[in-house]
Chains A and B, each alone.
Chain A
Amino acid sequence: MTRMLDIVPDRCTGCMQCELACSWVQTGSFAPSRSLIRVSVFDEEASYAPITCLQCDEAWCMNACPVNAIAVDPATGAKRVVDPLCIGCHLCTIACPFGTVFTLPQSGKAAKCDLCGGQPACATACPTQAIVYGESPQAGRWFASWGAKVDRNFVAAGDA
């Protein structure tokens, strides 16, 4: 079963503990700008929400990659960048409809959420349980309806 990170925006306080935790696990330093989960702040609307990879069933990043450098982690179903294979062409960063694949400034290679091998650091670090690690059919309530609409448009465009 594919697992994913379910976001509950109402609980988020904008504290950036998730970004700190992610950058720590991924880069070994506390550098929010290198985090693979990013918190958006909408000040006047009094709303904050982190956003990261939804671990799509049919992952566009994976489909777009010309050298098959994005693979499925059998333990979690996470779509993972296999670093030695990545050629740094940026196609996956363009293909992801949610903008959750990034380029690492040092290596020029792609980086995305890999669910930390099954123990996502951001979900552990979040003090308000705004990030819930769960099975994907239950998870993704936030984006489910939006995703369904995008899917329909995509299918419709393909039919025409």
Chain B
Amino acid sequence: MQRPMGRLLRVDLTSGRIATEDIRPDWQRDYLGGRGLAARYLCAELDPRVDPLSPANRLIFATGPLTGTPVPCGARYMVVTKGALTHAITTSNSGGHWGPELRFAGYDMVIVEGRAPKPVYLYICNDHVELRDAKAYWGQAVGATEDGLRRELGIPGLRVACIGPGGEKLVRFACIMNDKHRAAGRSGVGAVMGSKNLKAIAVRGTGGVEVAEPAAFMKAVWAMRAAMQDHPGRMAFTELGTAATIDMTQAFGGLPTRNFLAGQFEHYENLSGTTIRETRMVANKACFACTIACGRVTRLDPHAPRHLVNMHPRNWKRAGEGPEYENAWALGADCGVGDLDAVIRANWLCNDLGLDPISMGASLAAAMELYERGVIGDDQVEMPLRFGSAEALLRMVEATAYREGFGDEIAEGSKRMGEKFRHPEVFMGVKGQEFPAYDPRAFQGMGVAFATCNRGACHLRAWTPGVETSGAMDPHTPAGKSEWVVIEQNRTTAHDNTGTCMFIGGSGAPLESLAPCTAAVRGIPCSVDDLVRIGERTGNLERLFNLKAGLTRADDTLPQRLLQDAHQSGPSAGVVVNLDAMLPVYYRERGWSEAGVPTREKLAELGLASV
């Protein structure tokens, strides 16, 4: 038996028209689902040159064929749109329970277009789909919005994806939050949602996900479960969460500190996975169907300074989630803040106000550098933006979300902010998007991974520190890095298309184990080579979108700080990123021209000739 064709929901906010469509079977075959399928729809429907915040932009929420099934960590959905931060295609992934609920309601994808005349939210309960007035929620934080919608609609099992004040105020790195603490975080997808006057999508689904070949499917699922059960990677994620990574990056001098001015942070131990677990964590929390449960539910130290606990009555909270490694770094080491309670609190604020903590922390770090160098003076800021100031961290997160005072500058992201103050060199990122927590001077591979990622600097498209520190490669030389990054990008892209979480790869269930699941769920044979090919096709399609949007080879680059200024001390001292050696190899491995354009032959080979 073959699973009935997927359905998508199309919502035109301008006219209020709502319709369902069958998903095109040929595209489903070529792209599987999630990131790839949504990218295909975006490329077909959107002129890549539009302003991302204009009504013409599309905002697509897409699940994969394994979302909502018991495949470990089959919780994921993708938000695909033209990013407000990057002006390139973006693909922001989130877990929790919202994606599965959408499938239980009977939809694999939602395409939002246009702009509502006034704030609305979309309510989906199986076949009942309705746009409702969101006046009561406009201006509300994420937690209050979700609680309020549950109360208004009277459905305890309701799942909500929404924006906070950050998205409403069009902060360029605003995110879309679901289940209060899960984020489709990067590239400003929340700003796109805000520009459409769409506050939330509230979903309840009482149907189920059908599987074409149940026996084969359950066998494949249990093979994955067995492989993950005693795998050291899985156990480390459960025990210490992602923040365990900080020990590794610190040891290799690859923990960017104070806006990448140093590669090691003196207070890193305060932010480590072990410290979080031993002093602040109350429980593990899992996303839907997740057998890892890397999520940390945390409480502040009861003796934490009062300003940390209750800065502003509208944002007061007792318990929350995080920090993840990236957030501990961005809000901690990158801003020079070693106070764990301040970092946790800033993380909760980002969650509740709907900001991407990576870009938030990194943009603040850039502002702090400007302040320390005297470029911005005390008359321009309400408080000294010194590296290491917990007060500044907490206040600026809020100020950014509401665009108050200097927060209005930070809200534009550090690229635009740096240019405005005539110091573009403080921007640490690619294609307008700030780097995540790996210094490419310590891990060369991350240099080419960041430079070439379709959605700007991102660690989730090819993660090289693992292989670079395993002894198989020298982390400081370019040899072999580009080849590895190409393979890894193709594999992770395929992984994204299935609707499962990236972390199963490091937990004993690599892409190979997803092939039989994917085959059984659809009743169509699927090998790992097929998946890799789907990944490659998706990556090339995204590249085509970016080229048409006006990006060129010149955008596949890194800041001068990484290419010219080496660290003075530490394990990565004296190393700069040799991107000139890696980029041509990368293009060649991809089958692209020297200008970074996919060749005619490559496109024909991937079935993209007509795009």
A binds B: yes
Of B157, B206, B297, which is within 8 A of A31 by CB?
B206
B285-A14 in contact (CB<8A): yes
| Chain A residues with CB under 8 A of B609 | none
Against A, the Cβ 8 Å flags (1 = close, 0 = not) of B262-292 are 0000000000000000000011111111110
Which residue of chain A has the shortest Cβ distance to B283 in the bound complex? A46
| Chain B residues with CB under 8 A of A33 | 104, 157, 205-207
A44-B319 in contact (CB<8A): yes
Which residue of chain A has the shortest Cβ distance to B290 in the bound complex? A15
B289-A16 in contact (CB<8A): yes
Measured CB to CB, the residues of A under 8 A from B are: 13-17, 20-21, 23-24, 27-34, 43-48, 105, 125, 127-128
Complex Cα distance A128/B104, Å? 25
- B209 contacts the other chain (CB 8 A): yes
Chain B interfacial residues counted at CB < 8 A: 34
B286-A13 in contact (CB<8A): yes
Of B209, B210, B282, B286, which is within 8 A of A15 by CB?
B286
Question: Are A21 and B70 CB-contacts (below 8 A) given A33-B157, A33-B205?
Answer: yes
B283-A47 in contact (CB<8A): yes
| Chain B residues with CB under 8 A of A29 | 207-211
Complex Cα distance A110/B78, Å? 38
- B476 contacts the other chain (CB 8 A): no
A105-B206 in contact (CB<8A): yes
Q: How far, in Å, is A52 (CB) from chain B's closest CB?
A: 16
Number of A-B contacts (CB under 8 A): 74
B282-A46 in contact (CB<8A): yes
Complex Cα distance A31/B283, Å? 26
- B448 contacts the other chain (CB 8 A): no
Which residue of chain A has the shortest Cβ distance to B228 in the bound complex? A127
B288-A16 in contact (CB<8A): yes
Q: How far, in Å, is A28 (CB) from chain B's closest CB?
A: 8
A31-B285 in contact (CB<8A): no
Complex Cα distance A48/B286, Å? 10
Of A27, A31, A45, which is within 8 A of B104 by CB?
A31
Question: Are A30 and B69 CB-contacts (below 8 A) given A13-B284, A44-B319, A105-B206?
Answer: yes
Looking at chain B's contact residues, the main secondary structure is loop
| Chain A residues with CB under 8 A of B285 | 13-14, 46, 48
Complex Cα distance A143/B563, Å? 63
Residue of B180, B210, B289 contacting most chain A CB atoms (<10 Å) = B289
Q: How far, in Å, is A94 (CB) from chain B's closest CB?
A: 19
Complex Cα distance A125/B221, Å? 11
Complex Cα distance A34/B104, Å? 11
Q: How far, in Å, is B21 (CB) from chain A's closest CB?
A: 23
Which residue of chain B has the shortest Cβ distance to A10 in the bound complex? B283
| Chain B residues with CB under 8 A of A47 | 283
Q: How far, in Å, is A120 (CB) from chain B's closest CB?
A: 15
Q: How far, in Å, is B530 (CB) from chain A's closest CB?
A: 24
Q: How far, in Å, is B229 (CB) from chain A's closest CB?
A: 8
- B562 contacts the other chain (CB 8 A): no
Complex Cα distance A47/B284, Å? 9
B319-A20 in contact (CB<8A): no
Which residue of chain B has the shortest Cβ distance to A47 in the bound complex? B283
Which residue of chain B has the shortest Cβ distance to A125 in the bound complex? B70
Complex Cα distance A46/B286, Å? 12
Question: Are A43 and B180 CB-contacts (below 8 A) given A33-B157, A125-B70, A127-B291?
Answer: yes
| Chain B residues with CB under 8 A of A105 | 206
Which residue of chain B has the shortest Cβ distance to A23 in the bound complex? B208
What are 17 A-B contacts defined by CB distance under 8 Å?
A: A13-B284, A13-B286, A13-B295, A14-B285, A15-B287, A15-B290, A17-B289, A20-B70, A29-B209, A30-B70, A30-B209, A31-B209, A44-B319, A46-B297, A48-B285, A127-B225, A127-B291
| Chain A residues with CB under 8 A of B210 | 29
Q: Given A14-B286, A30-B69, A127-B229, output 18 extra A-B contacts at Cβ < 8 Å.
A: A13-B283, A13-B284, A13-B286, A16-B288, A20-B70, A30-B70, A31-B209, A32-B100, A32-B104, A33-B104, A44-B318, A46-B283, A46-B299, A125-B70, A127-B225, A127-B291, A127-B293, A128-B293
Q: How far, in Å, is B405 (CB) from chain A's closest CB?
A: 31
- B590 contacts the other chain (CB 8 A): no
B69-A17 in contact (CB<8A): no
- B182 contacts the other chain (CB 8 A): no
Complex Cα distance A29/B214, Å? 9
- B97 contacts the other chain (CB 8 A): yes
| Chain B residues with CB under 8 A of A24 | 70
Of B208, B291, B293, B319, which is within 8 A of A30 by CB?
B208
| Chain A residues with CB under 8 A of B291 | 15, 17, 127
| Chain B residues with CB under 8 A of A44 | 318-319
- B68 contacts the other chain (CB 8 A): yes
| Chain A residues with CB under 8 A of B290 | 13, 15
Question: Are A34 and B287 CB-contacts (below 8 A) given A15-B293, A21-B70?
Answer: no
| Chain A residues with CB under 8 A of B211 | 29-30
| Chain B residues with CB under 8 A of A14 | 285-286
Q: How far, in Å, is A124 (CB) from chain B's closest CB?
A: 9
Complex Cα distance A13/B290, Å? 9
Question: Are A30 and B282 CB-contacts (below 8 A) given A15-B289, A15-B291, A46-B297?
Answer: no
Residue of A13, A17, A128 contacting most chain B CB atoms (<10 Å) = A13
Complex Cα distance A17/B206, Å? 16
Complex Cα distance A39/B433, Å? 39
Complex Cα distance A152/B276, Å? 44
| Chain B residues with CB under 8 A of A30 | 68-70, 208-209, 211
